[in-house]
Amino acid sequence: MPRQPRLDAPGLLQHVMARGIERRKLFRDDKDRQSFLKRLAIIFEETQTQCYAWALIPNHFHLLLRTGPTPLSKVMRRLMTGYAITFNNRHKRRGHLFQNRYKSVICEEDPYLLELIRYIHLNPLRAKLIRDLKELDKYPWSGHSAILGRCKNALLLAPASQSNRNNTSIPSADKRIAFSQFCPESEKTKKNPRDPVNPVKREKSLTERTVEDVLLHFGKTKKVARRRYRDFVKKGIDQGARKELQGGGLVRSAGGHKAGLLGRKKEDREKGDERILGSEDFVNEALSKAGEEWESQAGPRPPLEALINAVSKAFNLSCQQLKSRSRKRPLVDARSVLARIAVRNHGYKGTEVAKALSLSPPSVSRLVENGEKIFDNQKHIAVKIIDMEL
């Protein structure tokens, strides 16, 4: 069965998951985790992607995101490709790091936002990386401790890094709560009126505002909200793995029980879609838009000519040189990188790339493999091309 197209649009809530290839570790130590989170922080601020919950498990990760103006596919490509390059260089390995492409499920907000935040943040406890909720409160590799204020928020950039990003507009979402509802007196944020040093209040980053967005579901002051949020998470411990939150479709939306769909017409039962988690009306609405505005927001894959242009610039070559039959090393390397990006990142067939470069399909296959080695060994070239694509 062919892969289904992505569903995406600004303002959608999406549960995103990705695993290491053959269930191998994505994070071998704290340096890997710090590298991944730093990359996340930069990408989320630059693309104005909100992250409500996150958890790093040794061989996979979970994210609960609200997409901004940048399509999720571009956000995840930049994250996963960039991290894979860094990981392979650091650990002196080659080849794929992730198992296939990432999985994303569009979620209906009202019934699932808080449930998914709790489910994702309890993952380290279910995976037995920690012993109890008390340890989770201070565990630095999930967003739970940041919401409680027990650990520094790993997705929070330094103020200097945020200065050029805070002015980016955030797409409106009908159900997004205003960020400024906390009572400042309760948080003791008032400046001493007698204090001559009273700097201009710094504008909060998207990450800080998103944490407030979560807490506002539980109370009007951070102290109260954090206590209620922790109680909410605690009640979820005994609920177990909750398979109904691990995918989409009507079966998942019905609590994971197929019996809930008995008696419906066959065409209704088949409307379950792994890309969508929500009520029947929400699933049907999402499916009706799948070929229209939602799918079109992610945009088509870049034309091969655009990729050729990006690779040519990265290698300081002309497009004519790249398309020539010369076997000089710089030209072969550039063609290898082009083939690797076109085939692995954007799903072009080898025959399509071969036609664009006037080569044979077997030659393109060899170029793809050589491109993998270049991506492993020349991080600066790979990152430069990824940025050009975005």
Q: Provide the CATH number for the domain around residue 370.
A: 1.10.1750.10
342 and 248 co-located in one domain: no
**pLDDT band at residue 12 using 50, 70 and 90 as cut-offs:** confident
With 90 as the cut, is the pLDDT of residue 171 above it?
A: no
Poorest-confidence range of 51-65, 92-106, 280-294? 280-294
> Is the alpha carbon torsion for 161, 163, 164, 166 positive or negative?
positive
Poorest-confidence range of 82-91, 135-144, 232-241? 232-241
Percent of the chain exceeding pLDDT 90 equals: 37
How much is the mean pLDDT over the chain? 78
Mean pLDDT of 181-206: 55
More confident residue, 139 or 317: 139
173 and 258 co-located in one domain: yes
With 80 as the cut, is the pLDDT of residue 341 above it?
A: yes
201 and 258 co-located in one domain: yes
Would you say 177 and 211 are in contact if contact means Cβ atoms under 8 Å apart?
Answer: no
Q: What is the pLDDT of residue 252?
A: 45
Q: What is the pLDDT of residue 247?
A: 59
Mean pLDDT of 249-253: 45
Q: What is the pLDDT of residue 250?
A: 43
Instruction: Provide the number of structural domains found in the chain.
Output: 2
Poorest-confidence range of 289-293, 328-332, 339-343? 289-293
**pLDDT band at residue 292 using 50, 70 and 90 as cut-offs:** very low
Would you say 36 and 85 are in contact if contact means Cβ atoms under 8 Å apart?
Answer: no
Q: What is the pLDDT of residue 388?
A: 55
Measured CA to CA, the distance from residue 62 to residue 236 in angstroms comes to 17
Measured CA to CA, the distance from residue 2 to residue 11 in angstroms comes to 27
48 and 140 co-located in one domain: yes
72 and 172 co-located in one domain: yes
* Half-sphere exposure (Cβ direction) of 351: Cα atoms closer than 13 Å: 0
Measured CA to CA, the distance from residue 198 to residue 196 in angstroms comes to 6
Inter-axis angle of helices 206-215 and 30-47, nearest 10: 90
226 and 371 co-located in one domain: no
Give the type of residue at 55: A
Measured CA to CA, the distance from residue 26 to residue 41 in angstroms comes to 18
Measured CA to CA, the distance from residue 100 to residue 97 in angstroms comes to 9
Q: What is the pLDDT of residue 129?
A: 96
Q: What is the pLDDT of residue 173?
A: 37
59 and 121 co-located in one domain: yes
Measured CA to CA, the distance from residue 220 to residue 211 in angstroms comes to 13
Q: Where are the alpha helices (DSSP H) in the chain?
A: 30-47, 72-91, 109-121, 123-126, 133-136, 144-148, 159-162, 206-215, 222-235, 250-253, 266-269, 280-289, 293-297, 304-314, 319-323, 329-340, 350-357, 361-377, 379-389
Q: What is the pLDDT of residue 126?
A: 93
More confident residue, 141 or 330: 141
Q: What is the pLDDT of residue 330?
A: 85
360: domain range?
304-389
110 and 237 co-located in one domain: yes
Among 300, 335, 370, which residue terminates a domain?
300
pTM above 0.75, yes or no: no
